[in-house]
Amino acid sequence: MDDSEKTNEQLISEVQALRKRVAELEADSSGHVEMIPAEVLTTATRNQIIALAATVDAKDPYTLTHSKGVAEIAETIGEAAGLSKEALSDIRAAALLHDIGKLGVPDAILTKPDNLSGAEWAIMQKHAAEGARIVGFVAELAPLVPLIRHHHERYDGTGYPDGLKGEAIPLGARILCIADAYDTMTTPRGYREVLSQEDALEELRWCSDKQFDPGLVEAFCRAVGVASDEDDD
């Protein structure tokens, strides 16, 4: 059954489930939005982030768990890079919402247990621009839009959606790109092998100057206590 064939009862049930999940997140004092300092977000904006995050969670619970991990890693990278408190808050919020565009991806693609076809991958790639569009409707979240839109750009210019290269990619988006990849490599999900911290960091270094900002990769490695070969010399 596709989405167009859902009955009113099913739609009502899904809305009720979403409302329940929003209430659970609002009641969770250890929730992921609490990582964002209260003084930099109004209560209304924090509630908007909770609601948006819950919407993604209702569609694919893995996505929210992943986004929380990305937020923690991105904060570590941002601190290592010397970012301001305000910039770190924007990055944390953007990390929590970076996959919001997956709301527009069909469930059959989003939860497919094996590799995507070329056509399916093309649909999946639209989530970055779609996420930026969704978040852009909330005026208070405007600073997050470029971070969400460009978190799949590559340092060598071969990423999406706009093919930005090097420092033309917003700094926060470059940080999210690294954090996203690292969490994906080190988080269990049935159809892929989990890498150790050492192997995941080595992969980040291998892809520096191609996929990732090399300076930020090394800052992250130092922050987690792994020196580069050059530092050892």
Express each pLDDT in 150-188 by its tens digit: 999 999 999 999 999 999 999 999 999 999 999 999 988
- Provide the pLDDT confidence category of residue 29 given band limits of 50, 70 and 90: very low
Listed range (22-31, 62-71, 152-161, 180-189) with the worst mean pLDDT: 22-31
The pLDDT of residue 44: 57
Three-state SS sequence of the chain: CCHHHCCHHHHHHHHHHHHHHHHHHHHCCCCHHHHCCHHHCCHHHHHHHHHHHHHHHHHCHHHHHHHHHHHHHHHHHHHHCCCCHHHHHHHHHHHHHCCHHHHHCCHHHHCCCCCCCHHHHHHHCCHHHHHHHHHCCCHHHHHHHHHHHCCCCCCCCCCCCCCCCHHHCCHHHHHHHHHHHHHHHHCCECCECCCCHHHHHHHHHHCECCCECHHHHHHHHHHCCCCCHHHHC
Q: Which of 102, 112, 126, 210 is catalytic?
A: 102
Domain ranges of the chain: 9-227
| Whether 6 is catalytic | no
Say if residue 30's pLDDT is above 50. Answer: no
pLDDT number for residue 132? 95
For residue 41, what pLDDT is reported? 54
pLDDT at 1: 47
What is the architecture of the domain spanning 9-227? Orthogonal Bundle (1.10)
Q: Select the more confidently predicted residue: 64 or 131.
A: 131
pLDDT number for residue 207:
98
Residue-wise pLDDT tens digits, 87-111: 999 999 899 899 999 888 898 898 8
What share of the chain in percent tops pLDDT 90? 52
15 pLDDT band, cuts 50/70/90, is: low
> Each residue of 193-229: pLDDT tens digit?
889 999 999 999 999 999 999 999 999 999 998 655 5
